[in-house]
Amino acid sequence: MNKFNSLDKSYLEQRKITHEICRLFAKSPSKGNLKRIKGLFAQCGDGVIIEAGFHFDYGSQVQIGDRTFININCTMLDAPINEGAISIGDDCLIGPNVQLLTVSHAVNPIERLNKENFAAPITIGNNVWIGAGVIVLAGVSIGDNAVVGAGSIVTKDIAANTVVAGNPAVKIKDI
């Protein structure tokens, strides 16, 4: 994980702008407000649907493939550095209230006083289904065609063509 300081003045300004766009979309999920959100992403494929309540911090490191569906109240805590990237493949289903968290803090209380953040990317393959209320932590990759059961907390990589569930998420079966 790499460090960055989210209290840096330029990052604060960038987050303020992004949060305002998210607030506008939550208040009025119109095509125009959705276009503003998609315009902040590094890449947003064709046919992507994002439901109301979507929130993210920066967007500049977020890539979403074609035909992905993001349900209500999705939170992406991305970071403005490469290590804070979120990459979502084609044809994914992201359930309601899913959290993708590339950002973390120091466990050591002395280090945490510096207010620095740590970031590691999240990569989601093609045709992945992430159930309602799932939390995906920094540094995790989820392979193609995987299914993550509702309410799971994903702390480690998930192989392609598997079903996982639980806290922490563990393999249930192969698909």
Catalytic residues: 105
Radius of gyration in angstroms for the set of CA atoms belonging to the chain, rounded to a whole number: 16
Q: CA nearest 116: which of 128, 134, 104?
A: 104
Q: How many CA atoms lie within 13 A of 72 on its CB side?
A: 4
Written as one letter, the residue type at 124 is I
Cβ–Cβ < 8 Å for 120, 136: no
φ, ψ dihedrals at 25, nearest 5°: -65, -40
- Neighbour count for residue 129 (Cβ, 10 Å): 18
Written as one letter, the residue type at 24 is L
- Neighbour count for residue 175 (Cβ, 10 Å): 10
- Which position has the token pair 């990237």? 85
